[in-house]
Amino acid sequence: MFKKILIANRGEIAIRIIRACKEMGIATVAIYSEADRNSLHVRMADEAICVGPAPNKESYLNMPNIISAAIVTGAEAIHPGYAYFSEQASFAEACEACNIKFIGPKASAIELMGDKARAKETAAKAGVPVIPGSKGTIESEQAAFRTASKMGYPVRLKATAGGGGRGIRVVNSEDELAGALRIATAEAEAAFGNGLLYMEKEIVDPRHIEIQLIGDEHGNYIHLGERECSIQRRNQKLIEEAPSCAVTPAIRKKMGEAAIKLARAVGYANAGTVEYLLDKRGDFYFMEMNTRVQVEHPVTEAVTGVDILKEQILVASGAKLSISQKDIKIHGHAIECRIIAEDPSNNFAPSVGTIELMAAPGGMGVRIDTHIYGGYQIPPYYDAMLAKLIVWGIDRKDAIARMKRCLSEYEIKGIKTNISYQLEIISNPYFEKGELSTSFIPKRMNTEG
Ligand code: ADP
Ligand code: ADP
Ligand code: MG
């Protein structure tokens, strides 16, 4: 096992990784930007190294500085968390070249799955159902028109290098296509440095269902069941739950086996998530694979009892998975609400400032993963997610009641948050009935999607 791990991230996920390391007896090195000197992850790690000024490009995305920090501190492995370098093959390669273990899959798997159009082709070849669409990326405007009229509108344009719900555009009719292509290409170029797009048939009011899997370097795989992430705003997840009330044991088995088939096909080792859309008929389609730990992993931990971070570290050290498929049982129901610094009454404008006071909920079945504390000054440079509130209940009804109770208890003063908005969603009768889809927000809430 590793003696020391460097965490190439910030915020709640850096803390989550440090906690796993502490329980495993592994020393930790935090990195931080000049704006994050007072961050909790810096205080919690055994060592901390400043890697540059506030902007991400100069610190958390400063590859030479991060690799140097690992070398100087003698860290044997780097955990990338999510976002940042977690899905960049070149970073995994740089680690390898410096004899540092990258805690994630091998670079070739990251590269293959990171190109979403190629990932779809790979999934289709492995026998996993995919969403109908362009073969690979869109080669020309004429080709786009041909594919769209063959499939029928609406269609979706997606950046092949996209992520985080960005670089996506719905096209409702032929006369919107040329303009949408131009804008989406420019947006993808600006956001991801790669303007290539692919096209998909728009699945109407689907559910977003994803499978958590973990593989070790000896060819063993397990899946930990599904998460439902249908509650989204602008293609970004807001609430996640496990299990999904729309997934039967038969669908779970099929989805899980398909995810493992794909992982096996690309020699995938470590934790990963295969995302699907599930339509009203119960048919599911591969959407993409995230080759990293996900924001919403705690709901799976809550219903399976498996510590996903510890398994990640364990398999990266070359050990076998500590559990096998037959050991995995889903117990109860878990829900996560993402608490974000934004103002729901002002079109979700980002909110920065100082947390003047904070009173967090607690009690049975409650978990909060966060980096904020009373007096913490939120730097304006980074992601606006402040905390993840996760509750467990014996069933969905119990979990919803507990989430309502917790959201009502949660007080964060000094900045605006979406806590009241989350409470509105959780209290919506359609949510309570489990009638969910990715159009829930535009259809069931009085806010635009
Ligand atoms: P990202 O890489 O940004 O996570 P995804 O491909 O996972 O992008 O898509 C993000 C979200 O967009 C999905 O969760 C879903 O709500 C929506 N979406 C993506 N593709 C389709 C599609 N073909 N039809 C309907 N909704 C889609
Ligand atoms: P998850 O699939 O883990 O729920 P999200 O899509 O919500 O992941 O992304 C996790 C975080 O990382 C979010 O804060 C999102 O904005 C960011 N993110 C994910 N992928 C990218 C990307 N390719 N570029 C920029 N930010 C990203
Ligand atoms: Mg996705």
pLDDT in tens, 199-251: 999 999 999 999 999 999 999 999 999 999 999 999 999 999 999 999 999 99
The answer to whether residue 448 scores a pLDDT higher than 70 is no
Give the nearest ligand 2 atom to 87 CA.
23
Give the number of the ligand closest to the Cα of residue 168.
1
Give the nearest ligand 1 atom to 204 CA.
25
Alpha carbon nearest to ligand 1 atom 11, residue: 235
Question: CB within 6 Å of ligand 1 — which residues?
Answer: 131, 156, 158, 162-165, 168, 200, 202-203, 206, 208, 232, 235, 275, 277, 287-288, 438
Give the nearest ligand 1 atom to 229 CA.
14
- Please tell me the distance between residue 400's alpha carbon and the centre of ligand 3 in angstroms: 25
Q: What's the rounded mean pLDDT across residues 164-191? A: 95
Contact 333, 303 (CB under 8 A): yes
- Other beta carbons less than 10 A from residue 35's beta carbon: 18
* Residue of 295, 300, 383 to mutate, ligand 2, most atoms within 8 A of C-beta: 295
Residues around the ion ligand 3 (C-beta < 5 A): 275
DSSP string for residues in 67-110: HHHHHHHT-SEEE--SSGGGG-HHHHHHHHHTT-EESSS-HHHH
- Please tell me the distance between residue 315's alpha carbon and the centre of ligand 3 in angstroms: 24
Contact 215, 221 (CB under 8 A): yes
Q: Residue 79: which of 13, 3, 161, 163 has the closest Cα?
A: 13
pTM above 0.85? yes
Residue 89 identity = A
- Please tell me the distance between residue 287's alpha carbon and the centre of ligand 1 in angstroms: 7
Give the number of the ligand closest to the Cα of residue 232.
1
- Please tell me the distance between residue 46's alpha carbon and the centre of ligand 3 in angstroms: 34
pLDDT tens, position by position, 371-406: 999 999 999 999 999 999 999 999 999 999 999 999
How does strand 366-370 pair with strand 385-393? antiparallel
Cα-to-chain-centroid distance, residue 340: 15
Alpha carbon distance 75, 168 (integer Å): 38
Tokens standing for 152?
A: 């029928």
Contacts of 52 (CB under 8 A, 6+ apart): 33, 34, 58, 59, 62, 65
pLDDT tens, position by position, 34-54: 999 999 999 999 999 999 999
Alpha carbon nearest to ligand 2 atom 19, residue: 164
Residue 238 identity = L
Model pLDDT, residue 2: 98
CB of 290 closer than 6 angstroms to any ligand 2 atom? yes
Alpha carbon distance 391, 404 (integer Å): 10
- Please tell me the distance between residue 84's alpha carbon and the centre of ligand 1 in angstroms: 20
Q: What's the rounded mean pLDDT across residues 282-294? A: 98
Which residues face 73 on adjacent strands?
none
Contact 101, 78 (CB under 8 A): yes
Q: Quick one: DSSP state of residue 444?
A: H
Give the nearest ligand 2 atom to 385 CA.
14
Determine the 3-state secondary structure of 19 from DSSP.
helix
Q: Where are the alpha helices (DSSP H) in 241-284?
A: 249-265
Report the catalytic residues.
292
Determine the 3-state secondary structure of 220 from DSSP.
coil
Q: What integer best gives the mean pLDDT of the chain?
A: 97
* Residue of 155, 235, 436 to mutate, ligand 1, most atoms within 8 A of C-beta: 235
- Please tell me the distance between residue 119's alpha carbon and the centre of ligand 3 in angstroms: 12
Backbone phi, then psi, for 66, in 5-degree steps?
A: -70, -45
How does strand 197-201 pair with strand 207-215? unpaired
Alpha carbon distance 408, 334 (integer Å): 18
CB of 392 closer than 6 angstroms to any ligand 2 atom? no
* Residue of 277, 289, 291, 294 to mutate, ligand 1, most atoms within 8 A of C-beta: 277
pLDDT tens, position by position, 289-339: 999 999 999 999 999 999 999 999 999 999 999 999 999 999 999 999 999
The answer to whether residue 446 scores a pLDDT higher than 80 is no
- Please tell me the distance between residue 209's alpha carbon and the centre of ligand 1 in angstroms: 11
Sketch out the chain's domains with CATH numbers. Answer: 4-103 (3.40.50.20), 132-201 (3.30.1490.20), 207-444 (3.30.470.20)
Please report which confidence band the pLDDT of residue 22 belongs to, taking 50, 70 and 90 as the band edges: very high
Model pLDDT, residue 103: 98
Model pLDDT, residue 449: 55
Determine the 3-state secondary structure of 339 from DSSP.
strand
Which residues face 50 on adjacent strands?
32
